[in-house]
Amino acid sequence: MEITPQPAAPQPYRGQVQAVVFDWAGTLVDFGSFAPTQVLIDAFAGFGITVSMAEARLPMGLAKWDHIQALGRQDGVARRWQQQHGRAMSDADVDTLYATFLPLQIERVAAYSDPIPGAIEVLATLRARTIRIGSCSGYPRVVMDKLLPHAVSQGIRVDHAVATDDLAAGGRPGPWMALANVLELGITDVRACIKIDDTVPGITEGLAAGMWTVGLSLSGNETGLSLAELAALSPAETAVFRDRAAAKLNAAGAHYVIDTIAGLPAIVDAIEARLARGEQP
- The CATH number of whichever domain residue 59 belongs to comes to 1.10.150.240
Examine the domain organization and report whether 210 and 264 are in the same domain. yes
Q: Is 166 a catalytic residue?
A: no
Position 193 scores a pLDDT of 98
Examine the domain organization and report whether 247 and 158 are in the same domain. yes
Is 208 within a domain?
A: yes
pLDDT exceeds 70 at position 2: no
Examine the domain organization and report whether 102 and 193 are in the same domain. no
Examine the domain organization and report whether 103 and 149 are in the same domain. no
Examine the domain organization and report whether 119 and 243 are in the same domain. yes
Examine the domain organization and report whether 190 and 175 are in the same domain. yes
pLDDT in tens, 112-142: 999 999 999 999 999 999 999 999 999 999 9
Is 190 within a domain?
A: yes
Question: Where is the domain boundary, 109, 124, 148?
Answer: 109
- The CATH number of whichever domain residue 227 belongs to comes to 3.40.50.1000
Examine the domain organization and report whether 73 and 149 are in the same domain. no
Q: To the nearest whole percent, how much of the chain has pLDDT over 70?
A: 97
Examine the domain organization and report whether 27 and 90 are in the same domain. no
Is 4 within a domain?
A: no
Examine the domain organization and report whether 146 and 168 are in the same domain. yes
Examine the domain organization and report whether 132 and 24 are in the same domain. yes
Which of 64, 146, 195, 248 is catalytic? The answer is 64
* More confident position, 189 or 55: 189
Instruction: Residue 58: give the domain boundaries.
Output: 36-109
Which of 23, 66, 197, 259 is catalytic? The answer is 23
Examine the domain organization and report whether 172 and 220 are in the same domain. yes
Q: Is 64 a catalytic residue?
A: yes
Position 10 scores a pLDDT of 78
Is 14 within a domain?
A: no
Position 1 scores a pLDDT of 53
Number of domains in the chain: 2
Examine the domain organization and report whether 50 and 138 are in the same domain. no
Maximum Cα–Cα distance for the chain, whole Å?
A: 74
pLDDT in tens, 152-188: 999 999 999 999 999 999 889 999 999 999 999 999 9
pTM of the model: 0.89
Is 270 within a domain?
A: yes
Q: How confident is the model at residue 149 (pLDDT cuts 50, 70, 90)?
A: very high
pLDDT in tens, 250-279: 999 999 999 999 999 999 999 999 999 999
Question: Where is the domain boundary, 109, 126, 145?
Answer: 109
Is 10 within a domain?
A: no
pLDDT in tens, 183-238: 999 999 999 999 999 999 999 999 999 999 999 999 999 999 999 999 999 999 99
Question: Where is the domain boundary, 109, 133, 150?
Answer: 109
Is 12 within a domain?
A: no
Q: How confident is the model at residue 17 (pLDDT cuts 50, 70, 90)?
A: very high
Is 259 within a domain?
A: yes
